[in-house]
Homo-oligomer: A and B are copies of this chain.
Amino acid sequence: MEPLILDGKRVATEVKESLRLRVSALKEEGIVPCLATVLVGDDSSSETYVKMKGNACRKIGMESRRIHLPKETTTSELLSVINELNSDDDVHGILLQHPVPKQIDERAAFEAISIEKDVDGVTSLGFGRTSFGFGEYPSCTPAAIMNIIDFYDVSVEGKHAVVIGRSPILGKPVSMMLLNRNATVTTCHSYTENLAEIVSQADIVVAAVGKPNFIKGEWVKEGAVILDAGYNKGNIGDVDYDSCYEKAGAITPVPGGVGPVTISMLLKQTVDSAEKSAKLLRKSS
């Protein structure tokens, strides 16, 4: 049987339609949801990502403020830019484009983003809150994965989810989010022995490892749900799509899977934040 294709574009379209309405309503109150993107240096793919995010904002009527800092920026210079954005009432979300040049303490910069504006879900506080089940802005790729799961009504409770990858913005938070939805969760990584054997037990596979075509169909259990959060050069996922397609019960394509939903989660969380500001303003007026 052919697997269900988990169409991220479709999910993203639906999310963005509802966001357009919410943005219009906010504008009527005089509030324009605004995402500030901070790019340090001149890495061309980072520039492309930042542009894509800016365009996505514009398309649903949001504003985006683009801050481009020179590649020699120091940690303390970056921190003061972030602090300014933290205290700017017109900015509802802050995205610091990863990676930053080597001389910068990236973790310190992420941590400086105030929890109210951490719409990209990069702070340790945001991660902790998400892990404990009361986080407002989880990291966007894990949020996208959960969104796809919900859109297609994938059953999670009691299932065995195997996450390959353990980064602070992907493997770790998606493990915690699946755990909070009552999956049994195994988190794997470069030190994992017998990876194929572990993957073969998974009802749900989340690939977040950053190696093109890494997850092979022969590893996968018949009928498993495969979510590919990999993002490698040439628009290639972590999942060997053709061989996994043969085995999967459901699978995300790359491109057109997790990626588009990730951007729409970033927009959604910025709109959430703007709505919270609006509520506070109404209260105080």
Interface residues of A (CB under 8 A from B): 107, 123-129, 131-132, 134, 157-160, 166, 168, 172, 175-176, 179, 182-189, 191-193, 198
Contacts and interface: CB of A to CB of B under 8 A. Distances in A.
Contact of A187 (B107, B134, B179): B179
Nearest to A198: B184
B134 A107 contact: yes
A182 B168 CA distance: 14
The A contact surface, by secondary structure, is mixed
A183 B189 CA distance: 9
B134 A128 contact: no
6 contacts: A124-B129, A126-B128, A128-B129, A132-B172, A182-B191, A184-B191
Contacts of A129: 124, 128
A251 B127 CA distance: 33
A158 B124 contact: no
Contacts of A168: 131-132
Contacts of A198: 160, 184
A187 B193 CA distance: 17
Contacts of A107: 132, 134
A191 B157 contact: yes
A115 to B, nearest CB: 9
B193 A189 contact: no
A203 B179 CA distance: 21
B132 A131 contact: no
A273 to B, nearest CB: 19
A177 to B, nearest CB: 12
Contacts of A124: 125, 128-129, 131-132, 134
A126 B132 CA distance: 12
B176 A184 contact: no
Nearest to A191: B182
B186 A176 contact: no
Contacts of A193: 158-160, 184
Contacts of A187: 175, 179, 184-186
Residue from A131, A172, A192 with most neighbouring chain B CB atoms (10 Å): A131
Contacts of A175: 187
